[in-house]
Amino acid sequence: MEVVSCSHSCSALHQTPASAWRLRGSALGLGLGHAKPSRPRRYAVMCVGTTRGASNPGGSGKVHAAQGFHVSDVDAALQAIPSRKVEEVEKVMIQGLPEGPDGLPISTGFWEWKPKLTVYYERSGVENSKAPAVLFLPGFGVGTFHFEKQLRDLGRDHRVWTMDFLGQGMLLPGEDPAPSSIASEEAFWGFGQDSQPWAEELVYSVDLWQNQVQHFIEEVIREPVYIVGNSLGGFVALYFAASSPHLVKGVTLLNATPFWGFFPNPATSPRLSKIFPWAGTFPLPSFVRKLTEAVWQKISDPKSIQDILKQVYADHSTNVDKVFSRIVEITQHPAAAASFASIMFAPRGQISFQEAISRCQSQGVPLSLMYGREDPWIRPFWGIKVKQQVPEAPYYEISPAGHCPHDEVPEVINYLLRGWLKNLESEGSIDLPFLEEPSYAEHGVSRELEFVREGSRKSVSVRLYGTKISLWSQLSSFLNTHVPNSRVVLR
């Protein structure tokens, strides 16, 4: 077995014999040579990274079991990938974002859900009542401002809403949920002795947020909608769709987090939940307060926020000044620290991410997946898992793009969303983007999308996975998730 060290991700599949297969191209896994081995072979597949422990220091040739894979007849599996070379990838020019007067204005609103719990939302869109209604749900730590590029663009042919989740964005409480009697403690809200009547059962959990989404759709939008969620918003969107399918026409996941919450839910695990002394209610107990103050001081520091944004955005040329300033503004609210603690200690949802997918599938809720490939948190592996569970769901993998593709490459996300919505609204008479040829539905296809931003042309690679996911796609996705800085070597 040959061991090769490198500092980049899985991108090429090599063998030393001249007659062997060679997978050429980028991490999208495009194209195969046409020479075939004369007989099936057994291959040892080895992922080797720059981290320690990749090989035996003693030079014995042994490797750790977690890093070695054996695949029989891998040639047959690789033949499932369409034979398209890198230079054959079609380039498609798509529309850029509207500028100046071409962008649709955004209106703001406040909806009083419960006493002291008023929901801030933004909307844009055409007056045509027949235009599809779309609701965007933000990720953790951000808010409506993260979807400005969708509202100004997609609002030209859709009716679009977005809102903040309670405890985040502009939905931090307007008064202290648990006032303190000690003047020196007034800097932080929620650390007093007793909670206010309106906050006695308040917990910033996914159950609260999915309930918030339900009432917002029923009372504000007043019709079934398409829901698009990023990160935490994706989890809530899926959870809500599984719970209220009659209010959902379809769900798009943008790098959705596949898990949320660390502690057991009282409804599903009543005995186990009693073991934990606190479940995110107000006021915060003293031992949680000390921990919260220490952690909050670190994560709310502007330098820490800058570092996180650099980590989750793959293209560092993306302007994140507005996102950065809004996040900093949120952290300076007196209720921010206690709200963060409530979120972190809130119980898990009553159903898991996987169960929500199963329910959506059985109830006929259409799903689509649009994931940034370079996301350091929700790796492509998680998108592949959803695609395997729901083969009919279109899964677009975008590169370069990180955890927030809607903000980093909004031109691409808006283009794909428009295509998916047209496909559903036309009941399939309009093809999904990239599915002009029937064979692509099984094996997938890649495109190079080009657009103009601020006078310069940019290019992004997008791969649509087919219903047949090859061995190479699964293996590459797994290794990119579990073994960073690695590549695959076959021999």
Sequence ranges of the domains in the chain = 91-481
CA–CA separation, 397 and 462 (whole Å): 6
Q: Peptide bond preceding 400: is omega within 30 degrees of 0, i.e. cis? A: yes
Check: CB of residue 163 under 8 Å from CB of residue 144. yes
What architecture (CATH level 2) is domain 91-481? 3-Layer(aba) Sandwich (3.40)
Residue 347 per-residue DSSP state: B
pLDDT digits (tens, 9 = 90+) for 120-158: 999 999 877 889 999 999 999 999 999 999 999 999 999
Closest CA to 104 of 183, 158, 50: 158
Q: How many CB atoms lie within 10 A of CB 287?
A: 10
Per-residue pLDDT at 11: 38
Q: Report CA Rg, the chain.
A: 24
Amino acid 179 reads P
- The mean pLDDT value for 288-298 works out to 90
pLDDT digits (tens, 9 = 90+) for 325-363: 999 999 999 999 999 999 999 999 999 999 999 999 999
Closest CA to 22 of 37, 4, 8, 9: 37
Per-residue pLDDT at 71: 38
**Sign of the CA dihedral 226, 228, 233, 239?**
positive
> Chain-wide mean pLDDT for the chain?
82
CA–CA separation, 283 and 280 (whole Å): 9
Amino acid 353 reads F
| Side-chain half-sphere CA neighbours of 141 within 13 A | 15
- The mean pLDDT value for 188-216 works out to 95
Per-residue pLDDT at 406: 98
